[in-house]
Chains A and B, each alone.
Chain A
Amino acid sequence: MPTLTPDMVPGLVAGGASCRMDVDVAPKFKVGDAVTARDINPLSHTRLPRYIRGRTGRIARDHGVFAFPDTSAASGTHSDPQHVYSVRFEGSELWGDHANANACVYIDLFDNYLELA
């Protein structure tokens, strides 16, 4: 691995490092689908927050194909590409009677986190 030097900083900052992957992977879900977040409880890295597990929402948007962080964190490289969706969860589904009026959460979830409701 090269040494990070000051002259490399502007290019790195401006270029970034997208986790989007240019591979053809079929989506498991489509906009409008009702989906339930799986109740997984890994001891390793995950981007599925606890408050979403087991809850049901609706796919609002398909963001395309990204590396799966749960796998990439262990492998050290972008791996396990799959679709990421913006999923809308109603406040009442997440918080029951304690939900605010007329409020919802949109969260980005990977194929591996979801199953059809």
Chain B
Amino acid sequence: MAHDHAHNAPPSETAMRVKALETLLTEKGLLDPAAIDALVETYETKIGPRNGAKVVARAWTDPDYKARLLEDGSAAIAELGFSGVQGEDMIVVENTDEVHNMVVCTLCSCYPWPTLGLPPIWFKSAPYRARSVIDPRGVLAEFGVELSDDVEIRVWDSNAELRYLVLPQRPAGTDELSEDELAALVTRDSMIGTALAEAPAG
């Protein structure tokens, strides 16, 4: 035998449940299945963490924008054209030399979709959700982030209706970079708070 798995294995329980729900919604006249395709395509190709990176780069280069962003996250993010589902009420928290912020949803997987897209699998996993609140330093270390005990760690549990975006610190040696070049240093994880913004090349 060339390989040992059956190509006609039944679909997973999750896939079957999703199919059943979609079929029921369609049969009840609540859903045109093409709308699901449009939603999937939106979050696969149009909405993702590059949006958030533009927000961060703007805040790094425009002090007035940064002030508005920290004062009213939803409005300032909407200035750049990002708003909508799971980003209706945004709070932006700023990392400094004294404070590092990280975000978790201990109850499920709440996440700021307009700026970061859909959450990564690990963000939804029970270990991340359980451990982030009790051992944030241990979780950060596993992500490769070691912070001195002098730095206060604030864990934001987005259990209710507010959604959180971390404003990472601007890396050193980036004074000459353009806003677009700065945005390229802003990773998804740095806006969740499980990473720092990347150092510039060279």
Chain A residues in contact with chain B, CB under 8 A? 1, 3-6, 8-10, 12-20, 47-49, 51, 63, 66, 69, 84, 86, 94-95, 98-110
Within 8 Å of chain A (Cβ to Cβ): is B153?
A: yes
CA A17 to CA B88, docked complex, whole Å: 7
Give the residues in chain A near B152, CB-CB below 8 Å: 102-104
Q: Is B30 engaged at the interface, CB distance under 8 Å to the other chain?
A: yes
Question: When the two chains form their complex, are residues A6 and B157 in contact, meaning their CB atoms are under 8 A apart?
Answer: no
| Interchain residue pairs A-B with the least CB separation, the first 5 | A18-B88, A108-B160, A9-B38, A103-B153, A107-B157
Which of B42, B91, B107, B157 is packed against the most chain A CB atoms within 10 Å?
B157
Q: Which residue of A lies closest to B133 (CB)?
A: A105
Number of A-B contacts (CB under 8 A): 124
Instruction: Give the residues in chain B near A8, CB-CB below 8 Å.
Output: 35
Contact with A along B143-163 (1 / 0, CB 8 A): 000000111111111111110
Q: Is the CB of B85 within 8 A of A17?
A: yes
Q: Given the complex, which residues of B lie within 8 Å of A10, measured CB to CB?
A: 38, 42
Query: Can you list 28 pairs linking A and B with CB atoms under 8 Å apart?
Result: A3-B30, A3-B31, A3-B32, A4-B30, A4-B31, A6-B32, A6-B34, A9-B38, A10-B38, A12-B85, A13-B42, A16-B84, A17-B85, A18-B89, A18-B161, A19-B161, A20-B161, A51-B133, A63-B162, A69-B161, A94-B134, A100-B135, A100-B153, A101-B149, A102-B150, A105-B154, A105-B155, A110-B160
Query: Which of B91, B138, B151, B160 is the most central at the interface, judged by chain A CB atoms within 10 Å of its CB?
Result: B160
| Closest residue of B by beta carbon distance from A108 | B160
B residues in contact (CB < 8 Å) with A: 29-32, 34-35, 37-39, 42, 47, 83-89, 91, 106-107, 133-138, 149-162
Bound complex: CA of A49 vs CA of B135, how far in Å? 17
**Cβ–Cβ < 8 Å partners of A105 in chain B:** 133, 154-157
**B29 x A13 contact (CB < 8 A):** no
Partner of A84, one of B86, B134, B161: B161
Q: How far is the CB of A29 from chain B (nearest CB, A)?
A: 15
Shortest C-beta distance, A94 to chain B (Å), equals 7
A20 / chain B contacts, CB cutoff of 8 Å:
88-89, 161
User: How far does the Cβ of B106 sit from chain A's closest Cβ, in whole Å?
Assistant: 5
Asked if B162 and A84 sit within 8 Å, CB to CB, the answer is yes
Q: Name the B residues within 8 Å of A49 (CB-CB).
A: 106-107, 157, 159
Are B155 and A106 closer than 8 Å at their CB atoms?
A: yes
With beta carbons under 8 angstroms apart, the residue of B29, B39, B159 that contacts A108 is B159
Closest chain-B Cβ to A51's Cβ sits at a distance in Å of 7
Residue of B nearest to A88 (CB): B154
B99 to chain A, nearest CB (A): 10
Q: Which residue of A lies closest to B86 (CB)?
A: A16
In the bound complex, do residue B31 and residue A16 qualify as a contact, i.e. CB atoms below 8 Å apart?
A: no
Cβ contact within 8 Å between B29 and A3? yes
Which chain B positions have C-beta within 8 A of A13?
39, 42, 47, 84-85
Contact A84 B160 (CB under 8 A): yes
